[in-house]
Amino acid sequence: MSSSANAMSPLVMLVDLDEWYHCRWATGALSSRWASVSDCFLDSYQSDKPAGEIVEATQWILNCLKEHHTKITFTILGEIGQWYPELVRQIAQEGHEIACHGMHHQDLTLISSQQFSEELAQARQILEELCGKRVVGFRAPNLVITEWLPKVLIEQGFAWDSSICPARNPDKFKEHSHAPRKPYRVSPNSLCRKGNGNLIEIPVSVFPLLRLPGGTSISTRILGWTWARITLDSALRSGPACYYMHPYEFNPAPRLKNMRLTERIFLRRSGTYMKGILTRLLRRYEGRIVTAGYYTSHCSPRGQWTGE
């Protein structure tokens, strides 16, 4: 690709608006510490409601984005919309794209396609009433997908999805490993295969050659800024890149009893370190960061970027 084409390559940046207790090790999977978010609340807060840590962290992100004149995509849970309606309204009012992250943060393999379809419609309605715009994007909780997911998204008229991380991983990404690394139109039978439909997949960027997760703040916190920079620079040389993060990473890590080593590693460098990372990202990729919706609205019939 020529240097001029490289200069045009966009970085799609997203924030998954969920909290630390939505992490897969905490809730939402068969192996989670708590069976449900409600159990986590009772154990951690002695309450049936969240404590609101997400608000301050999200406000910091919004202020940082405003300072750098950047608009990004926020993928939001329906239950987050119910708990923090004013926060969702503020995100929309400041010009950021609102996308759907499902109703609850649980692996889709734990529910049926019918239940998911109903919950997706419910979450979408909550978000659309709060932001006053049509919600056309989706990201699966924990990036755990199913065979029936593309069919449901297509039936409900979604324009884009960003649930695929085409990395080498024997766990939750094992079905993603052979998916294309650049945006593509998906098959109605699999998010991991190209098709001719209207639904565009925006895969998370992976570290070159090794094909390990790189376009996520989780890998950035564990492996460092250089890992993220190499991932995104490499991806942008040949087309679009995609990076996502979470508000809880901008707060100090939660203090929990009897934390496992894997949990400590997962929460490594939460807080001040991530604030520095976001500032670095916004400075390094100034002028090429776009929302997922903007990207898909400037795509060719093959899902390739045509904008400037």
pLDDT in tens, 30-70: 999 999 999 999 999 999 999 999 999 999 999 999 999 99
CATH superfamily of this structure's domain 3-297 = Glycoside hydrolase/deacetylase (3.20.20.370)
pLDDT given at position 6: 46
- In the beta sheet, which residues pair with residue 305? 299
pLDDT given at position 2: 31
Q: Do 248 and 18 form a contact (C-beta atoms < 8 A)?
A: yes
120, 154, 196, 273, 283 from 135: Cα distances, Å:
11, 13, 22, 32, 29
Dist. CA 130–CA 146, nearest whole Å: 29
Low-confidence ranges of the chain (pLDDT < 50): 1-6
pLDDT given at position 307: 72
- Here the tokens at position 271 are 């807080």
Q: Do 106 and 129 form a contact (C-beta atoms < 8 A)?
A: no
Q: What torsion do the CA atoms of 286, 287, 292, 297 make, to the nearest 10 degrees?
A: 180
pTM for the whole structure? 0.95
pLDDT given at position 7: 52
pLDDT given at position 168: 84
Dist. CA 259–CA 251, nearest whole Å: 17
| DSSP β-ladder status, 137-138 and 190-194 | unpaired
- Here the tokens at position 105 are 């943060």
